[in-house]
Structure formats: C-alpha cells, structure tokens
Structure 1
Amino acid sequence: MMLLVLLFISACWHNTPGNAEVVTSFEETCPQFFFKETPPGIGLEPTHPARICQRYKNQYRYATLYNKDKRIPVYSAYIYNPGTAKRPNNWMVEPQLVDLSLQPEMTSEGALLQKSRATQAELWNSQAILKDYKNLTNYNRGHLNPNSHQPDLDAKKSTFTLTNIVPQFIKLNGGTWNNYEQQTMMSNTQGCKETFALVGAVPGNNYIARGRVNKPSHLWSAACCFIDNNHIRSWAIIATNDKDVVEQLTLGQLEEKLAELYNRNGISLFHSDCPRE
C-alpha cells in the first residue's frame, strides 16, 4: 500500500507545471532572465496568466508572462545578446497552453496537431494562432523579444512563437520602435557586462481576428544594465500603438506611467537595485 502511495506522489510530482515550460513560478524555473533573479512585482498580472519559460531545442531561451484571456503576452524578459545569424520565419505555438501534459517545447501548429492528441479547437481556444494575424490592415506581428537581440539561430527561432507576439502598428514596428531595438539598445549597452530587458504590451479596447486577440494600447520596453557592483544603469521607452513615436523615459517614469495605465497603486519592473532615475 505504501509503495502505491509513493508511486502516486512521484507521478503527480513529475506532471506538475513547474517541471515544464508553462510554470508556476519564474523564480523556481527560469530566474536567470530577470535582473537579480527578480521578476516584476504584482501589478501587471492579468486575471488568467500563464508563466512561460520559453523552451526551444531543450533549452530555456527567455520568459514570457502571457494573458490567456486576451491572447497576447504581458511581457517578455530576456538578456540582450545580439548576434548575426539570419532572421528565421517559421512560427510556433505553446503546446502546454493547450494541455499541461503535452510537450514542454514550442512547436509549429501542424506538428502539434499531427503528433499529439490536441485538436484544432483546443489549440484555437488556448492561444493566438497564425490565422489570427492574416489580412491585417495597418498592423502586423510585433515581437516583444526581438530576434535581433538574440545570439544565434536557435535563440532567434525561439522568438518566433505567437506567445511572444502582439498586433503592432506597422509603421511603429518598422519605424521608431525598430530604431530603438537596433540602434538605441546598441548604444545604451556600451560598457554593460549584462543587460536585462523587459518588453511589454498594455491591453487596449480593440481586437483583431473578430475579437480573439487584443490590440495593445501601448508598447513599452525597459532595460537594466549591470556594469559592476557599484554601477548599474537603466532606461525605458513607451509608445502608443497607433503612431510612429517612441517616448524616452527613465525607469521610474515608465513604472509610474504603467501604474496609471493599469490603474494600480504602483508597479515595479526590476529589483530595487536597478536605478529609477
């Protein structure tokens, strides 16, 4: 009898979300993507969140807090480490948003449906799919964690999951936002030993795909750069998702702005050691 109990406990332990890609805690599974292993504090979490340690080729690549109701990410957290590998273009989804018992690695829609018991309806209900982003007007697929900030081909491929994507104003995505990703980040990270980035989206009042996928009202990005134990710097931006304009902010100003947008008393994006001014 005791043996049966032990086997049952062991089976349950191996099927807990914490041992797979959709996890119960970033701190326990993939804390390395956050400055001083500290995820953002309470304030950004949606009613029905999913914490995803984004896993590809049996390796965690970055972390995403996903809003299951609005089918967009709240933020993606990663380490800035740009490389020169070519841009991929094969899109993937998250199996464990369909069912926690499915594989812990992102995969294509076709592979998921062919190789598991998941149905098209279950996939459709669980997250955004490629069809949601077809035939958009003035908007396209905007990465939170951009592939250009990743070091090699596999790391870049891992950013092409729809759990890392929001509908982004096309002129912003290819304009000032792209300038920030390609030029400002490179300039601001000079002298940094390690740069932790957070990029997020504030849910808006409009949707694409007949109400399935939320169209964010704002996009934001913040970074905390570790130079040495006595020198840490930060910076931030925010943009409304209908204009090609990026506003430069301090980290503290961004946190205040997000608190207003989310109607919260306060929001903390990084560990308190990251300067707010």
Structure 2
Amino acid sequence: MLGLLLLQVLASCLWLGHSEVVKSFEECPQFFYAETTPNDALNPKNPALICQRFNNSYHYATLYDRDRRIPVYSAYKYQPGDAKKPPEWWMVEPQLIDKNSIPDMERDWILIEQKKFTSDQIKESQAVHNDYKGLKGLDRGHLSPSGHQFSRESMMATFTLTNVVPQDRSLNKGEWNAYELKTMSKKTKGCKTTYVITGAVPGNTYIAEERVNRPSHIWSAACCLGDEEPKDAWGAIAENNKNEVEELSLKELEKRLTELYGGTVTLFSSACPRK
C-alpha cells in the first residue's frame, strides 16, 4: 500500500513539472493580475501557451502563434533592477518541437548536438535565428523586454525567439524604447506591483521567405496596484512602420484593439481602471 502511494506521489510530481507548453495559463498564473488572462479575441487559429521557463524557473507567459511564428502577447510583472546586461543567447522552445521534450528554453545548437533534433525540425515549429539575420530596417523586438526584469536570469529568459517580433528598427530604438524605459518608470511610481501585457497585431506582410509575420502594430497595457487593489491602468500603441507611440487609457487601447482584431478585446480583470 505504501509503495502504491509513493508511486502516485511521484507520478503527480512528474505531471506538475512536465509540460511548459501548457493547456492553460493556470500553470503560471502569477503573471496575470487576479489570474485573469486576455479574452479569446486575441487567440490565433493555432496557438501555443508557453510558461516561459529558464533555469528551472518561470519568468513570464507568452501566447504564441504557431502559424505566423510570432508571439501574440507576453505577460509579466514589471520589476526592473540593476542586474548586469546578460549575453544575448537567443533560444527556442523545445516543446514546440516535441511536447515531451525538456521544459526549459534552450539554444538551438544544443538541441541539435545533445537532444538530436534537426535544424529542420526546429525551423518547422517556430522562428529561428536565421529568420532575423540580415534584416534591413527591422530588429528583434522584445514583447517582454529584458529591461523590465529584475534578475540577470530573468533578463536572459527574454532572449527567446518566442518572445520577439520583427519590429521597425527606428521604433524599437526610438520612441518604443523611450516608452519602455522612461514612460514606464514615471507611470509606475507609487505602484506596489504592475502587471504588463505587451502584444503585436498580425500584419499582411512576412519576412524570411514568408515564414515570419511582420506585425502591423505593437501595443502594451499595464495595470498598477497600490497596496492590494488596482489604482491605475494605461496603454500604448504604435504602428510598426514609423517612430511614433500613442499613449492612451486602458479603455481606449481595448477599443482600438477591438477594431484591429475584429472582436471585443478585454486585456485585464474588470478591477483595473478604464477611465
């Protein structure tokens, strides 16, 4: 009887740690205020829900579009720190290749050498490093940016290709960068915790021989908590072909996204202010 009980406990532990491409974000709910995810209006036809795991820890959550090979959004807590900038080790998600593979993100060459995946298998399942090589006027634009993470480990975890989109270079290095670093720092003063969801609206053009979608817009939303309850919320949106960022309320951002996605968009719990 004791042996059977031990087997049941072991099976339970293995199940809990098994898959980081998950069936629901209940596996990593801590990145969503009140454990409330955006509604289904953002969902692509062929989604993958990823609890972004690196070094045996979760760092943020990503809804990934398998067909367009870009993230729909990444959700995280805004926790900038003073950790040193990490090496840019661009990683991929093994469980997009095989759901029974290792749970942590990893560099493609390690998967090829140690896990015996082929480059074609990796390329079929998601965007790869070569898709972003030699691009003119475009950068790998982070949805969960390294500068919003507290530890060096969490910063490193943002360098996965399931967290980036082809972003206009002038925007990425210009006004969007200013929003991420300066505007967010100002707006979050007095916030005990700030939840952020940053996403990309699919566009009509592709890069890398039609493999990777170039989004038409980049957007971000934040919900700021005082002690325990939300006290403020805001948003930002930018067309992905010019160096301009429009700041707006959460209500205005959701309305704009509703028009762009063609269905009513709700990003946060109703407790987050929509004034």
Task: Give TM-score, length-normalised by structure 2.
Answer: 0.93
Distance 1:195 1:77 in 2: 11
Tell me, what secondary structure is at the counterpart of 1:228?
Answer: coil
- Code of the residue aligned with 1:158 in structure 2: it is A
CA-CA distance at 1:42 after TM superposition:
1.2
**In the alignment, what sits opposite 1:117?**
116
Q: Partners of 1:229 and 1:273 in 2: how far apart?
A: 11
**Aligned equivalents of 1:152 and 1:146: distance in 2?**
12
| Structure-to-structure mapping, 1:91-106, within 5 angstroms | 91-106=90-105
Q: Secondary structure in 2 aligned to 1:36?
A: helix
- Give me the whole-angstrom Cα distance separating, in 2, the residues matched to 1:230 and 1:102: 39
Matched position secondary structure for 2:176: helix
Which residue in 1 is equivalent to 2:205?
A: 206
Report the Cα distance in structure 2 between the residues aligned to 1:190 and 1:85, rounded to whole angstroms.
Answer: 20
Distance of 2:84 and 2:241 partners within structure 1: 29
Spell out the pairing of 1:136-175 with structure 2 (5 A cutoff).
136-175=135-174
Q: Which runs of 5+ in 1 are unaligned?
A: 1-6
- Using a 3 Å threshold, how does the CA distance of structure 1 residues 201 and 236 change in structure 2: closer, same or farther? same
Whether the 8 Å contact between 1:15 and 1:101 is mirrored in structure 2 is no
Deviations 1:86-130 (A, max 9, x none): 222111000000000110000001011111132211101000000
Task: Name the counterpart of 1:225.
Answer: 224
- Whichever residue aligns with residue 271 of structure 1, its letter is S
Where structure 2 has 5 or more consecutive residues not aligned to the other structure, the ranges are 1-6
Deviations 1:208-255 (A, max 9, x none): 101000000000000000013455210100000000000011101111
> Residue 73 of structure 1 aligns with which residue?
71
Q: Which amino acid aligns with 1:127?
A: Q
In 2, Cα distance between equivalents of 1:24 and 1:210: 31
Q: Please tell me the residue identity of whatever aligns with 2:60.
A: Y
Residue 14 of structure 1: how far off its partner (Å)? 4.8
Residue 255 of structure 2 aligns with an amino acid whose one-letter code is: E
CA contact (8 A) 2:223 2:230 kept: no
In the alignment, the residues of structure 1 paired with residue 21 and residue 266 of structure 2 have an alpha-carbon distance, to the nearest angstrom, of: 23
1:17-44 Cα shifts (integer Å, max 9, x gaps): x842100010x20000001111111100
In 1, distance between residues paired with 2:125 and 2:246? 34
CA contact (8 A) 1:55 1:105 kept: yes
What amino acid sits opposite 1:147 in the alignment? S
Q: Which shows bigger deviation, 83-92 or 173-182? A: 83-92
Pair 1:131-2:91 in alignment: no
Contact 2:230–2:271 (CA under 8 A) maintained in structure 1 = no
Letter in 1 for 2:46: H
Identity of aligned residues (%): 52
| 1:6-21 aligned within 5 A | 14=14, 19-21=18-20
1:36–1:230 CA distance, 2 compared to 1 (3 A):
closer
Runs of 4+ residues over 2 Å off in structure 1:
10-16, 228-231
The answer on whether the counterparts of 2:19 and 2:100 sit within 8 Å (CA) in structure 1 is no
Q: Report the RMSD for the aligned CA atoms in angstroms.
A: 2.0
Q: Distance in 2 between matches of 1:86 and 1:241?
A: 29
Partner in structure 1 of residue 4 of structure 2: none
CA 12–227 in structure 1, closer or farther in 2 if over 3 Å, else same = closer
Q: Who is 1:4 aligned against?
A: none
Pick the aligned partner of 2:50 from 49, 52, 61.
52
The code of the aligned residue for 2:79 comes to N
Equivalent residues in 2 for 1:228-243, closer than 5 Å: 228-229=227-228, 231-243=230-242
SS at match of 1:268: coil
Alignment of 1:254-269 (within 5 A): 254-264=253-263, 266-269=264-267
Secondary structure class of the residue paired with 1:82: coil
Cα distance in 2, alignment partners of residues 12 and 152 from structure 1: 30
